[in-house]
Copies of this chain bind each other. A is one copy, B any other.
Amino acid sequence: MRSVSIISVGLTRFGEHWDKNFKELIAEAGTKAIVDSGLERKDIQAVYGGCMASGRFVGQEHIGALIADQLGLNPIPATRIEAACASGGVALRNGYMAVGSGMYDVVAVGGVEKMTEVSTEDAGYALGGAGDQETELFMGASFPALYAMMARAHMKEFGTTEEQMAAVSVKNHKNAVHNEYAQFRSEITIEDVMKSGYIASPLKLLDCSPITDGAAAVILCATDVAKKMKLVDKAVEIIASAQTSDTLALAHRKNLWETKAAKIAADEAYKQAGIKAKDVSFAEVHDCFSPAEIMAIEALGFCKQGEGGKFTEQGNTAIGGTIPVNTSGGLKAFGHAIGATGIKQAIEAYWQLNNMAGKRQVKGAEIGLSHNVGGSGATCVVHLYRKV
């Protein structure tokens, strides 16, 4: 595999876009990325798009062709990737492989989800498709309920507290204040989270990521080609890309307090890049629910198994801490436009490594990590990034 870099990015604001439809979100993010790349549309040789449940959210499938059409990229190959909430990250990995293999020099990778067109009940049903509908969701579990069970297992095994989980949301809201693309730009307190009402005990409203519309896009280029074309001013190299799977249903896992697929993916990514967890400067992790961030930082090796709650509470994952996590605001406060999330994580890495993150900048950032999870952990994809 040859070296692959992100040479430009495009992002819509995440939030409730009542004034923009599915196609317009794609056009906005995609056009930004193309224009900022310094390339022409004709230079782009393939498109990969991540999207989870457009069929249920907007009645539309065939998302690869739709993206190519919307961005005026026909007749290049255009492929939609679906891996539940990891759709964006897996799309990024497929684009990375397509360029790394030498098949293409330049590909566009995007992610999109328009979730506000349906009722909350219908959205819950659509999202349930990320788990095992037959044995979990159809039997009455909601997605918050699945993560609540994982949280309970973690609390029982390691003594993790609801306040420690709340600290994840508090930190992520604090980071999002400084992100103009974020859905929620207001600070919250531990007390706010604790009083926000149970959704599925122990998870309360402010432990949960929201329903979000948004799109994100990056242009990938072979690093040597980008160098020749002098497109490396801001280029960020993808130095590792690892993807794993686990059982779809929680019932088939050995325990509920760890995310095994994430551990395997992280180990594989560190091996690819020849680094260790301690070498990572910052990480965007998949905090669809606050306990998910605690389990993520353990799986990624930033702290010991079981100590993620305390580690967070002590401020280690805050900006200025030993390993800043979710500087973007995370899924909780930045928003979670499912298919777009994995790409938005890569964009935060691009901004951080280019020293473009303003008030949320991690000083001296050298290596970034993104961790994108599908469902309750049945897919995990980890990427590592470094400035070219």
Report which residue of A62, A74, A94 has the largest number of chain B beta carbons within 10 angstroms of its beta carbon.
A62
CB of A217 within 8 Å of the partner chain: no
Q: How far is the CA of A66 from the CA of B68 in the complex (A)?
A: 28
Q: Does A74 lie within 8 Å of B245, measured CB to CB?
A: yes
Q: Does A78 lie within 8 Å of B245, measured CB to CB?
A: yes
How many chain A residues touch B (CB < 8 A): the figure is 67
| Chain B: CB-nearest residue to A378 | B65
| Chain B: CB-nearest residue to A51 | B82
Of the residues B62, B125, B243, contact of A379 by C-beta under 8 Å: B62
Q: Does A260 lie within 8 Å of B75, measured CB to CB?
A: yes
Q: Does A83 lie within 8 Å of B83, measured CB to CB?
A: no
Q: How far is the CA of A69 from the CA of B133 in the complex (A)?
A: 14
Q: Does A126 lie within 8 Å of B90, measured CB to CB?
A: no
Q: How far is the CA of A28 from the CA of B51 in the complex (A)?
A: 28
Query: What 1/0 mask marks residues of chain A from 53 to 95 whose CB sits below 8 Å from any chain B CB?
Result: 1111011111111101100011111111111100000100110
Q: Does A55 lie within 8 Å of B126, measured CB to CB?
A: yes
Within the complex, what minimum Cβ distance (angstroms) separates A132 from chain B?
A: 8
Q: Does B1 lie within 8 Å of A78, measured CB to CB?
A: no
Q: Which of A30-52 contact B (CB under 8 A)?
A: 47, 52
Q: Does B65 lie within 8 Å of A248, measured CB to CB?
A: yes
CB of A21 within 8 Å of the partner chain: yes
Q: Point out the residues of chain B lying under 8 angstroms from A330, CB to CB.
A: none
Which among A99-107, A152-160, A349-357, A359-367 touches the partner chain?
A99-107
Q: How far is the CA of A168 from the CA of B214 in the complex (A)?
A: 45
Within the complex, what minimum Cβ distance (angstroms) separates A112 from chain B?
A: 13
Given the interface pairs A79-B94, A103-B101, A245-B68, the reply to whether A62 lies near B84 with Cβ below 8 Å is yes
CB of A299 within 8 Å of the partner chain: no
Report which residue of A55, A58, A101 has the largest number of chain B beta carbons within 10 angstroms of its beta carbon.
A55
Q: Point out the residues of chain B lying under 8 angstroms from A252, CB to CB.
A: 69
| Chain B: CB-nearest residue to A127 | B61
The interface of chain A, by Cβ under 8 A from chain B, is 1, 21, 23, 47, 52-56, 58-66, 68-69, 73-84, 90, 93-94, 97-98, 100-103, 125-126, 128-134, 137-138, 243-249, 252, 260-261, 264, 374-375, 378-379
